[in-house]
Amino acid sequence: LPSTVECGMNVIAPATVADLVNGHYARDYDNVLIIDARFDYEFDGGHVRGAKHVPTQEVMRALLQDNPPTMNGERVCVVFHCEFSSQRGPALYRALRSWDRKMHEHCYPQLFYPEIYVLKGGYKRFFFDYPQLCEPQGYQQMWDKDFKDAMGEGLRTNKANRRSQSMNNVGEFQALRRS
């Protein structure tokens, strides 16, 4: 995929994500996962068609249980984003990349998920460029005063998850892979 590297992350343009959603890369990937890291009310207000809602670092659990990595050549493309792709989406990107590298210390550079990306400009940019590829066709801002309590709860939950879930807990993820 056409991408750039920003802050150590592979970043792709909204146009490329639109092409992924529209199946233009279907022969290149067996599975395309768009991971939406926004809060529930943001996701419910509108999201990229087919996106999975994973607002916390439980992303490894979701990826391992719902889409277990395989070693048989399956090509998986993972795209993370949040509202602007400046905090929550990149945090999940870094968590998955760190976990994947730790799992493959013995055989680096092999990875379960070699092709992971962050959506440049986040959902906000994608929605304004491609509203027809959003379900429902809406955009709910994180800082909307009507969702102040939900936002506060989401921020507290994310903070608690970061504290309690260490990327050094590789044993838990290995067990998930075996189950």
Which tokens go with 87?
A: 């905090």
Pairing of strands 115-119, 9-12: parallel
Q: Which residues are catalytic?
A: 82
Band (64; pLDDT cuts 50, 70, 90): low
- Backbone φ and ψ for 67, nearest 5 degrees, come out as -140, 70
Band (176; pLDDT cuts 50, 70, 90): very low
pLDDT tens-place string over residues 68-88:
666 567 889 999 999 999 999
pLDDT tens-place string over residues 130-159:
999 999 999 998 777 876 777 667 766 665
Compute the chain's Rg from CA coordinates.
16
pTM, full prediction: 0.82
pLDDT value at residue 100: 87
pLDDT tens-place string over residues 13-62:
999 999 999 999 999 999 899 999 998 999 999 999 999 998 776 666 76
For residues 75 and 116, give the distance between their C-alpha atoms in angstroms, rounded to a whole number: 11
